Structure 1
Amino acid sequence: MATHSAPPLATAPATAFDAAVHADRWIADYCARSTSADVLCPAADGSVDPAWPAMFAELAMVASDDLGHIRERVQRHAVDIGTGFRIADEPDERPWPVSPVPLLIEAGEWAGIERGVIQRATLMETVIADLYGEGKLVADGHIPAALVTGSPFFLRPMVGLDPPGGRHLDFIAIDLGRGPTGEWRVLADHLRAPAGAGYALENRIAVGRTLGGLQDRLNVQRHAPFFAAFRAGIAAMCKRTDPRIGLLTPGRFNPSYPEQAHLARYLGLLLVEGADLAALEDKVYVRTIGGLKRIDALWRRLDPRLLDPLAFDTHSQIGVPGLIDAYAAGNVVLSNAPGSAVLEAPAFSAFLPNLAKSLLGEDLLLPNIATWWCGQTAAKESVEANFDRLLIGPAFHARPLGMTGGPTAGADITGAARTALLADMANRPQDYVGQELVRLSTMPVVVGDELVPRPFTLRVFAARGGDGEWTVLPGGFARIGEHPDARAAVMGEGIWSADVCVYGAEPVAPVSLLTAADSLQVRRNPGTLPSRVADNFYWLGRYLERGEALLGAIRVMLGNSIDVDGGAGLSPTTVGKLVGLIVGAGSAPHPPSLRRADLTALARTAMEDEAWQSILTLNRHAREIGEGSRDRLSADMVRLLEAPFPTHRGMLERAGSLQRRYAAIAGLSAEHMGRTAAWRFHDLGRRVERAMAMARAIRLFGMPGASPDDLSVLLDLADSQISYRQRYPTGIARVPVIDLVALDPGNPRSLAFSAERIAARLAELPVLSDDEMAEPQQAQATGLQAIVMTATAAALDAETLGDIERRLGAVSDALARRYFLQGAEPLRTSGLTLA
């Protein structure tokens, strides 16, 4: 990389001298170990671009001389943001690994990269339009027909369809490698569902929170204008002036789902899955709690072959039947257009240089790594002759029969593996490519408490703006290899990422996605709530409340009552009822006896045995819902839901830790969630589950003949011991206890309180008709509330409580039928709003 003039530094604070000393020492030590292929130490005379010392001085201002501390600090910020990713076949997400040292690229150098990316995007749009249009490039011999028709990414149903908006590509990603002498080359193109822009944004946020002065000190170009342009570009292709735009995700098991949720939240897009959508009369709708709402555009992160089972893969269960018909009719924009990934195949890289000359009249500004497609005889013979000097890989990403892994250096393929690969290459040469082995530049990364050189690649992003022109995200993100080996072939996906800062001498205007003052009409409706999301929030409330109720029963059984005579001193009859409550919830098998050891074993199973409906199982269900609702939950809520199960030695200590966690979640729900429709469903789930649990508890412990132990346990389960003692200091009696836990409208644990809240929440939700008549779920809730309001403590019996439980189940069923629209049946239901 050439040496450039750094921007003038801001006036330094009093401690800047020490920071500069640390920075100079870090750089000197690092450059003594690195090579001339490093971005920090490329000059033979030992000179360093002044931007790097300025950046390291910012690091030293925060961390003094402790590089390990600054790495941990940046990583904590990434965790706070909620950044994560998932490895295939792993059940849990991993935190996104961010290096505290950004990659610095001077604005003049970046301008060359930017021109090359725009040229490449323009070329690929031209080629794709021809392949799905006139087909001249194949007919004239510029592209072999087998390269197109043999590709799994070529979607024949898309031939002849004009994409809405007139273009196939709206958002692309390109992987670049920097060679030892500073030249940039294209390693791969990503057109199907380009991932990583959200990670670039999150890297910038995490590093920006740590190095707050770097933005102004180096005049770092901002990301917000790029995302604003992309959002405007999609909106410009829609027919309606105020379009509804969604981000179509495969769901929470997708490796980059956290990134998708972050992007949807940042861009103000509706995060939807295939089950959220329905195609009717060549239009696409999202299933919401207010009926079917028209959706105009989808930024898809779903494999195009899974988009529509009627057009592509008939086995797809996550697509939208009829989506391609709506697309063909011009009523929904899909970004990128299905089939555009045909150019993503590594084999196509062999033809792009000549296509650039033929179609654009110029050479590629960012050249490919040299590629030979073995589907051509001469290229195949060249690959075989130079086998040990090339990278051997699949032509279309799918692994051929002769390969046991991903792309591999030919020299590393030996013995039986080499024999099998060469045999399969002879049978199906079109499945293979040979590519030159590229050596990568290195950059500094913090390992332990020191800087070490590691190879990196750069992923850059380009998008169409509102004017249809391409714009490039200034920076992207760097992927850093784990090992010093600088061959791109062995780097794999890397284990770190780094922010990429494009800097220059000109000040950068502070731009964000916030619109100008008074440019938007004020509204208090938070927007469309998909039915699936409402379903998730409802069951999030139920699982959390169910876990808390089960935990309460376990704690009482183990002896955590505030009653000095409770817990271990409970009568066998009362303990047996507690055991029946826990066993009846499906949380554990019935113990062989009521001895303390057996009760402890029962409690352990009910708390942490995943084979049963234990607290661990219920928490896992809640965590899974939280993972699928990242765009609507705070980072604090997600962290609490994902917190590991406590491992304290004693059962009561573990129970206490869980109780504090449940209390924290309830506090966040009550005091930090906006009173939106999502919160109403969450609260409905809590109230329905709480009322069911309380009705069962009253039937077990509060019927005529209940002992003092029974009534004390009932007060514990209702968390009402203190309220009762303050109200009735003289002693415990059945009727006052029943009145408090069942009929007192001021007790948030009572049946009366829950019944009133259920009716109130349902009254706040949208209805489908304007005749002022109650819908079934509202009528069921009103009937439930009437029974509870007219009951008396003395007359409340098991039959009435059983009726209340059945009515609660009926409310839940009616609510689900009305609002959780899934499957085909709701599409034929009369009265569903189409907007």
Structure 2
Amino acid sequence: MASLAEAGLFDAGTIADRWITEYCGLAPAGDVLCAPVGDAWRALFEELAGLSGEGFALARERSHRHAEDIGTGYRVGDEGEERPWPLSPVPLLIETAEWRGIEAGVVQRAELMEALLRDLYGPCQLVAEGHVPAALLTGSPFFLRPLTHLTPPGEHHLHFVAFDLCRSPDGHWRVLADHLRAPAGAGYALENRLAMARTLGGLQGRLNIERHAPFFAAFRDGVAAACRRAEPRMALLTPGRFTASYAEQAHLARYLGFLMVEGADLAVLDDRLYVRTIAGLKRIDALWHRFDPRFLDPLALDSHSRIGVAGLIDAMVAGNVVIANAPGAGLLEAPAFAAFLPRLSEIVLGEPLRLPNIATWWCGQPAEAAHVAANIEGLVLAPAFGTPPLGLPGGGQAIGAQLDAAARAALLDDLGRRPQDYVGQELVCLSTMPAVNEDRLAARPFTLRVFAARDAEGRWVVMPGGFARIGDHADARAAVMGEGSWSADVCVHGPDPVLPVSLLPAGDSTQLRRNPGTLPSRVADNMFWLGRYLERGEALLSVLRVLLGHSISADTGAALAPETVGRLAQIVVTAGAAPAPRALKRQDLTQLARAALEAEGEGQSVRRINQQARMIGAVSRDRLSADMIRLLDAPFPERGVLLDRAGSLQRRYSALAGQAAEHMGRTDAWRFHDLGRRVERALATIGFLRALGQPDATADDLSTLLDLSDSQISYRQRYLTGMARVPVLDLLALDPGNPRGIAFQAAAISAHLNALPVLSDDGLAEPQQEQARAIAAALVTARATRIDDAWLADLQARLGALSDAIGRRYFLHGAEPLRAAGLVLA
């Protein structure tokens, strides 16, 4: 569709000039747009005007929608639900010449950090010579004593670093914070760029914006180069879905081609790291971890850790696994170290810092403590080692001038008792940039997070841009801005054309592969139970829809007989979806249906089943499409009568089934998802047959049975004489051509299990394969005239035992022996 500008309804250039003039008339001195206005900013606002017209609403809505389509989200604190990523439609523009200075400063700082870690975890010469107080090590919770005098594989402590920068109104850049333990945000920078490229597609060519793909390729190659094997298997280690940046981690793992694993997926055997997969233990050569390294190994570090891997440090010391970044790097993140970095740069590198930090005084030294106490009104007080001291009860930093008399007295009192717990820092004033506020531009303070990674040659490569955090109010003091409320893409632009680059190598240089790769046992477990929950919810919903449509909401004489209604109600109760109704009156049945559809709590209502499926989807972002995630995350319908809400949910289940059937690659992950569906569908059909297919079944029972199994049309095409029990049983239990029947499910289950990996090469069937074949054979040889409740109960028990066997063979079990018979190591 042509834009409004192309339609001639307005001139984008005129609107852009008006926006800039109005904005710069109100913006504070030193704003990045107005000092002075460059052609790049004018081109940006022309693109925005061409997209959004006279206002910014359309641009903001489109950038948010693209961020949502990509799957960007984050979590705050202990929140159970992810928030949508707050992306501003106005990116931050930085000219290439200015960026080269930032880039050089970032590389220098990364080199300094590496040199300091090599010394402080090695000979400790800087401490011996008095350049670094010993208390900065011994008093820091981030100093990991067990790792002293150990050389990481590849001889580098750091592979990936991040720094928070601020720009002062005079245009100078400085460092606010260092991130070395588990730097977060690179995935958000990538997602911001993808969203903005979709929103402002013409900007890339007009401004020659540098791309992110070469940076991520360099990082991947750098980690691989430190591994011992020529074709290493690399993984991203996450603490789990409740971490704040889980969505970012999933996106990065998918983009880089890393396995996404949790600690429970991994095991160390003979000083080598393995991931537990459906094909046995598979070697892991490199881990990019995304949590506090103190929790990486409960044997060597924090014994209380439940998210680490026992023996991981031994595997690292043996040189068999690269850990990025090496544990212990967080020592230099402590704000106390910032006070010494300017001097250490002169000593270690022989040159001053190109990107200076904000002025910092560590109060563990008498003179510095006295300076901070005497000048408290002009400083920011912060924890020296991350842990909030008693004088900062809010947990973070405090502006001295804003403290009341009591708070100031308490702080100074604790500062006198434990000065080593505090740093004083200058109160920094930030530059501002344009952000959209209520459909107009407003100046807001910002900070910039930049990233650097080692390439295959061990050199530092800096991501061109990073991402900006934007404050939600006009106060430009860094201590007041905090984490900010908005994010913006950061575009480095220049006069030279930028070649299109992809993270993927050229097609003619890539070894072809149709094997989708390793499937961890935890992922197989999730896919299996996602299929079971979706099928379980759909089966329960079909019962409720029949109950609602034929007995509660019926306006004519087509209502079901009371006996059939009672059997439907019993199916709901047996499933654990709702308590038994007092009677079969309309009011009681309505209450039963409402509870089974939308009740909260521990039961198995449709709402609760959907929540369980949604939880699995939340930890499977790296395996499921964005459309499938959106369907799982969709809110539970609240409008309309019960039958309308049930219909809405049925359409959602159908869409999810269609996504799985038509859009999931036929990988082992899909096989487990479909296995779960087939097992649950077979169990549901058996439950329907036991409730409604007994020898005394009425015509209403049999018709309802066909409705629940979506087989009315198939039956009526074959039998013109009305309802009969034996033909119904044959169609639903034994007909291999009925995709809703039990025989069809058994054949599909057996085919899936035959296609999955086995642990031995003797050609003999594994237990779960034997059980599946026996069930399929029993159905092939059965006769509908002999089907009774005992036969159905036995089949139900055998399917339950098969599900348990699948779990024992393929899924994680914490106490399972690592040297199990037939274990495959690769």
Q: With structure 2 as the length reference, what TM-score do the two structures score?
A: 0.98
Query: Partners in 2 of 1:652 and 1:563 — Cα distance?
Result: 8
- Superposed, 1:583-622 pairs within 5 Å as 583-611=573-601, 612-622=603-613
SS in 1 for 2:275: strand
Encode CA deviations 1:335-377: one digit per residue, 9 max, x unaligned: 0000001000111100000000111111100000000111111
Query: Partners in 2 of 1:334 and 1:485 — Cα distance?
Result: 40
Deviation at 1:116, TM superposition (A): 0.3
- Asked if 1:282 corresponds to 2:271, the answer is yes
SS in 1 for 2:449: strand
In structure 1, what is the equivalent of residue 514 of structure 2?
A: 524
Q: Does the 8 A contact of 1:23 with 1:56 survive in 2?
A: yes
Query: Partners in 2 of 1:552 and 1:469 — Cα distance?
Result: 60
In structure 2, what is the equivalent of residue 77 of structure 1?
A: 66
Partner residue of 2:470 out of 448, 465, 480: 480
Percent sequence identity over matched residues? 66
In structure 2, what is the equivalent of residue 752 of structure 1?
A: 743
Query: Partners in 2 of 1:341 and 1:463 — Cα distance?
Result: 16
- Superposed, 1:421-500 pairs within 5 Å as 421-500=411-490
Query: Partners in 1 of 2:619 and 2:23 — Cα distance?
Result: 43
In structure 2, what is the equivalent of residue 348 of structure 1?
A: 337
In structure 2, what is the equivalent of residue 121 of structure 1?
A: 110
In structure 1, what is the equivalent of residue 689 of structure 2?
A: 698
Query: Partners in 1 of 2:236 and 2:567 — Cα distance?
Result: 50
- Superposed, 1:649-728 pairs within 5 Å as 649-728=640-719
SS in 2 for 1:176: strand
Partner residue of 1:20 out of 13, 24, 29: 13
Deviation at 1:748, TM superposition (A): 1.1
Query: Partners in 2 of 1:225 and 1:538 — Cα distance?
Result: 37
Residue type at the aligned position of 2:55? D
Query: Partners in 2 of 1:617 and 1:412 — Cα distance?
Result: 48
- Report the aligned-residue RMSD: 1.6
Q: Does the 8 A contact of 1:284 with 1:323 survive in 2?
A: yes
Q: Does the 8 A contact of 1:35 with 1:42 survive in 2?
A: no
Q: Does the 8 A contact of 1:15 with 1:61 survive in 2?
A: no
SS in 1 for 2:507: coil
Deviation at 1:562, TM superposition (A): 14
Q: Does the 8 A contact of 2:551 with 2:559 survive in 1?
A: no
SS in 1 for 2:345: helix
In structure 1, what is the equivalent of residue 793 of structure 2?
A: 802
Residue type at the aligned position of 1:621? Q
Encode CA deviations 1:638-661: one digit per residue, 9 max, x unaligned: 000000000123000110000000
- Superposed, 1:214-229 pairs within 5 Å as 214-229=203-218
Deviation at 1:517, TM superposition (A): 2.4
Partner residue of 2:320 out of 323, 327, 331: 331
Encode CA deviations 1:159-196: one digit per residue, 9 max, x unaligned: 01110000100100000000011100100000010000
Q: Does the 8 A contact of 1:103 with 1:501 survive in 2?
A: yes
Q: Does the 8 A contact of 1:23 with 1:57 survive in 2?
A: yes
SS in 1 for 2:584: coil
Query: Partners in 1 of 2:416 and 2:580 — Cα distance?
Result: 65
In structure 2, what is the equivalent of residue 411 of structure 1?
A: 401
- Asked if 1:813 corresponds to 2:804, the answer is yes
Encode CA deviations 1:677-716: one digit per residue, 9 max, x unaligned: 0000000000001111111110110010111121122111
Encode CA deviations 1:251-306: one digit per residue, 9 max, x unaligned: 11110010000001101111111111000000000100010000100011121011
- Asked if 1:630 corresponds to 2:591, the answer is no
Encode CA deviations 1:398-421: one digit per residue, 9 max, x unaligned: 211221221121112214333322
Encode CA deviations 1:578-608: one digit per residue, 9 max, x unaligned: 1111111111111222111111111111111
Deviation at 1:733, TM superposition (A): 1.1
Query: Partners in 2 of 1:415 and 1:571 — Cα distance?
Result: 79
Residue type at the aligned position of 1:634? S
Encode CA deviations 1:462-481: one digit per residue, 9 max, x unaligned: 00001100010000000000
- Superposed, 1:374-413 pairs within 5 Å as 374-405=363-394, 406-413=396-403
In structure 1, what is the equivalent of residue 147 of structure 2?
A: 158
- Asked if 1:538 corresponds to 2:525, the answer is no
Query: Partners in 1 of 2:444 and 2:207 — Cα distance?
Result: 24
Deviation at 1:492, TM superposition (A): 1.2
Query: Partners in 1 of 2:511 and 2:98 — Cα distance?
Result: 42
Query: Partners in 2 of 1:197 and 1:513 — Cα distance?
Result: 15
Q: Does the 8 A contact of 1:561 with 1:716 survive in 2?
A: no
Q: Does the 8 A contact of 1:35 with 1:41 survive in 2?
A: no
Q: Does the 8 A contact of 2:535 with 2:677 survive in 1?
A: yes
Q: 1:707 to 1:476 in 2, by over 3 A?
A: same
- Superposed, 1:39-54 pairs within 5 Å as 39-43=32-36, 48-54=37-43
Encode CA deviations 1:498-543: one digit per residue, 9 max, x unaligned: 0000000111111111211211121210000000000000000001
Deviation at 1:210, TM superposition (A): 1.1
- Superposed, 1:89-238 pairs within 5 Å as 89-238=78-227
Deviation at 1:16, TM superposition (A): 11
Query: Partners in 1 of 2:557 and 2:278 — Cα distance?
Result: 45
SS in 1 for 2:600: coil
Q: 1:546 to 1:14 in 2, by over 3 A?
A: closer
Residue type at the aligned position of 1:659? Q
Partner residue of 1:272 out of 251, 261, 275: 261
Deviation at 1:17, TM superposition (A): 7.8
Deviation at 1:314, TM superposition (A): 0.8
SS in 1 for 2:509: coil
Please say which of residues 333-342 and 597-606 is displaced more in the overlay.
597-606
Query: Partners in 1 of 2:9 and 2:652 — Cα distance?
Result: 43
Query: Partners in 2 of 1:227 and 1:262 — Cα distance?
Result: 13
Query: Partners in 2 of 1:615 and 1:199 — Cα distance?
Result: 34
SS in 1 for 2:491: strand
Q: Does the 8 A contact of 2:551 with 2:565 survive in 1?
A: no
In structure 2, what is the equivalent of residue 86 of structure 1?
A: 75
Query: Partners in 2 of 1:297 and 1:317 — Cα distance?
Result: 20
Query: Partners in 2 of 1:475 and 1:427 — Cα distance?
Result: 43
SS in 2 for 1:165: helix
SS in 2 for 1:255: coil
SS in 1 for 2:785: coil
Deviation at 1:397, TM superposition (A): 1.4
Residue type at the aligned position of 2:238? T
Deviation at 1:565, TM superposition (A): 10
Query: Partners in 2 of 1:567 and 1:820 — Cα distance?
Result: 51
Q: Does the 8 A contact of 2:279 with 2:824 survive in 1?
A: yes
Q: Does the 8 A contact of 2:734 with 2:741 survive in 1?
A: yes
- Superposed, 1:573-588 pairs within 5 Å as 573-588=563-578
Which consecutive unaligned segments of at least 5 residues does structure 1 have? Answer: 1-11
Which consecutive unaligned segments of at least 5 residues does structure 2 have? Answer: none
Please say which of residues 238-247 and 389-398 is displaced more in the overlay.
389-398
